[in-house]
Structure 1
Amino acid sequence: MTRAHTRTLTADPLGGTVSRTVLPGGLRVVTESIPAMRSATVGVWVGTGSRDEAPELSGASHFLEHLLFKGTGRRSAMDISAQIEAVGGETNAYTAKEYTCYFARVLDEDVPLAVDVLADVLTDSRLSPEDVETERGVILEEIAMQRDDPGDEIHDLFAAALFGSHPLARDIAGTPETVAELERDEIHRFYRERYVASNMVVVAAGNVSHAETVSMVDKGFASSVTDPAGVPAALRDSNAVVPPSGSSVTVVGRDSEQAHLVLGCHGLARRDERRFAFEVLGAILGGGMSSRLFQRIREEAGLAYSVFSYSAEFAETGLFGVYAGCAPENAHRVLELAREVLAEVARDGVDAEELVRGKGMIKGGLVLGLEDTGSRMSRLGRGELLFGDQLSVDEVLRRIDSVTLDQVADLAAEVLTRPRVLTVSGPFADTDFTGT
């Protein structure tokens, strides 16, 4: 009989003891035990997101996220929410391009309930035809609401333009057309194929015992998440080719009071060792009120209320974008200033004061963000699911501290000169940004 494999990963001075067990069926359990806390967050991470769907199934991961809370063989939808809320806890879920996360935050004494509810939801959802139809309407309303918010929609438009025919280009929620056509049997098959042991990680952070958590997970998930013969599922198309970079302009005409712009390019893949330097570069460019973009566009020129840069890393590529929201008459000048800042940093790099400030922003954000169990759970879940390991907080801080001016300058010269994609939403014609 195959036995579970357990090891302690870190005993972090800035956190707790992180331990990892792989159960016989391939399910991974990671905990961070912090006895000083009186709460805990339990999360189940599934390595399936919008990029893993066939084009005709676009939106299936997000649809499934909704449906799993609608009832199981043991609990109704009301039972699922009421049992957690009765102990002052909360439960929720979200879907991303490469994973889906389900979680519950409770008092430490209620961890057994949280694990039991999540295990029930993840392994025994009914997916009744009636619930499928009810949630279909809810999701279509959600898509419509998102499209009515150009500040949200512009980022989806940017990703679609940047990634082209690659699965990363697809909207997480799908389209009204694909959601309207998804059938219950298709969603159920997707559920059974994807929600398997080797593709899932259970994480608990807070005042938890690793051994007790493993025992609860083993019991709760044993019924239906063991892969046949324990063979890891090959679930992602590793042959998906990222389209070559190319410059493009996408304009969505809207009768709106504000223009929304995203200017960006391909970034770094998730496992690129330069990712810490790239984070520092992003903070310097558009990470706060002292950033170059904020100072130039808002503080000096007064042309926008909101301006920032952001990045995202995926398995084989990434993205970098600069967002600004401004009055339509200021859009071209804002775009011009953003390009000036990117060109300056690409050509000249950054100075020592900016480097220190950028490092401080990243380090402070990391440590301050770990003051609740939910953030700790998320860090562990992403580390295990996306990287297959855990870096201690100390190690991450060390890597950020080790970033040099030359590393940032080299990255800026490489990334910020790549062909750029521009997406614009506002009261414009298609030709208003031609040649910009």
Structure 2
Amino acid sequence: MFLETTLPNGLKIIGEHNPEALSVAMGFLARAGSRDEPLELNGVSHFLEHMLFKGSETLSAQQINHQFDALGANYNAFTSEEVTVYHAAVLKEHAPDLQHLLTELLKPAFRKEDFEMEKNVILEEIQMYQDDPISRLFDAAREQFWGSHPLGRNVLGSLESVGNLQVEAMQQHFHAFYAPNNLIFAVTGAFDWNQVVSQLAQETAEWTPSQVERAHPDFQPVFSEKRLKEKQLNRTSMALMAPGLAATNPNRIAMNVLVEVLGGDNSRLHWALVHPGLADEASLSHVDGDGIGYLEGFLSASPRKAKKALEVFHQVLQEARSQGITETELARARNKLALQSALRFETPYNRLFHLGLEFLYTERYLSTEEAVQAILNVTLPEVQALLDQGMFERFSLTLQGP
């Protein structure tokens, strides 16, 4: 059963009730990510995610974490380019206590000493990712492909932007983007809907709405080649990027099935590149987002085989457009993705993410059965229409290696 209401302060509450469940999952979704940051504040959304676990005016960081543990909660948070999510799951009898604790997270104290301590943690995290070759590759690839578009910014920020960040600027960003009308509270599993709504209404009564607008600047993809010469590596890695489909595009599910055929496990790219030993990795994926999406390819090969591997990568995609894909390939990809969705969405905790993110992007409710059926309903003409659009013909290319 799907439930929905909006509090007077603009906070949207959505729920999927399953009285047979033994657990309940809930969380806040903020429509705030790295694409919403001014360049000088790059990384503030991810930093904020850390700071919300550092305590409120009434609870310290240690008390918050101990209370989560006392409930036996599975809990965490994540930040992306477009959304920050605070989520947890407990046995159903602990639902009111978990809800209170999650709401308390969104009342951060912003203590100066906590801010400076956590800044050092994040600076270390940035350096750790800079030591990882694949992270360096995709940071460079996204920056090149997106150009000045805010989606090209690193979610973690840079050593400079995070190092210069002041707590006052973070507080201003928090109040601007964590307004109740820019949040969704989602709950799945076994819960009392009236209790959820009344408790949230009481505990967020002082939250005030504000004008929150996400910028959607024009985007012109940069189709060019960039080389990262790193002599210490013994592999050539390649990141390829191209425009894709937005989360609200009716063809996005067909696109997901298509890229599974082309670049998933046991795909055309696998059999053309990995199976014969031309590459040790070859993949293609699709990411849909707010008003825009993108294709992301990856190749890893020995330096002497890299050029040939890249040629075969493009050849596989060109042949798919000119010759199409078979009904057998389509059925295999549909069945695989449908099963993955069924397995992933059957528990309240996993349903939380699908319910919340689907609603955040599309303002639609999609049950597990509907999500699975939508995949199984994808047809060959739908997939061919995507191939005919020429979306797989031009890619931005970033190479890394000796």
Report the TM-score, using the length of structure 1 for normalisation: 0.88
> How far off is 1:417 after superposition?
4.1
1:226-246 Cα distance to aligned partner (Å, 9 max, x none): 216xxxx232113x1112x34
1:172 alignment partner in structure 2: 155
Return the match for 1:56 from 15, 34, 40.
Answer: 40
Return the match for 2:312 from 319, 324, 337.
Answer: 337
Return the match for 2:271 from 285, 289, 295.
Answer: 295
**Which moves more between the two structures, 396-405 or 44-53?**
396-405
Aligned residue pair count: 401
1:12 alignment partner in structure 2: none
1:5-404 equivalences under 5 Å are 17-122=1-106, 124-223=107-206, 225-227=207-209, 233-238=211-216, 240-243=217-220, 245-254=221-230, 255-288=232-265, 290-299=266-275, 301-404=276-379
Tell me: CA distance 1:353–1:138, structure 2 relative to 1, closer, same or farther (3 Å): same
> How far off is 1:279 after superposition?
0.9
> How far off is 1:253 after superposition?
2.2
1:87-109 Cα distance to aligned partner (Å, 9 max, x none): 22132111011110011121111
Q: Is 2:86–2:102's contact at 8 Å kept on the other side of the alignment?
A: yes
1:295-322 Cα distance to aligned partner (Å, 9 max, x none): 11111x2233332211111222211022
Aligned to 1:36, the other structure's residue is in SS state coil
Q: How many percent identity over aligned positions?
A: 32
CA RMSD of aligned residues (A): 1.6
Matching residue's letter, 2:208:
T
Tell me, in whole angstroms, the C-alpha distance in 2 between the residues paired with 1:364 and 1:150. 33
Tell me: CA distance 1:207–1:343, structure 2 relative to 1, closer, same or farther (3 Å): same
Q: Is 1:140–1:176's contact at 8 Å kept on the other side of the alignment?
A: yes
1:3 alignment partner in structure 2: none
> How far off is 1:393 after superposition?
2.8
Alignment pair present for 1:407 and 2:391: no
Task: Point out where structure 1 has 5 or more consecutive residues left out of the alignment.
Answer: 1-16, 428-436
Aligned to 1:26, the other structure's residue is in SS state coil
> How far off is 1:155 after superposition?
2.8
Tell me, in whole angstroms, the C-alpha distance in 1 between the residues paired with 2:374 and 2:87. 29
Task: Point out where structure 2 has 5 or more consecutive residues left out of the alignment.
Answer: none
Matching residue's letter, 1:165:
S
> How far off is 1:175 after superposition?
1.0
Report the TM-score, using the length of structure 2 for normalisation: 0.95
Aligned to 1:44, the other structure's residue is in SS state strand
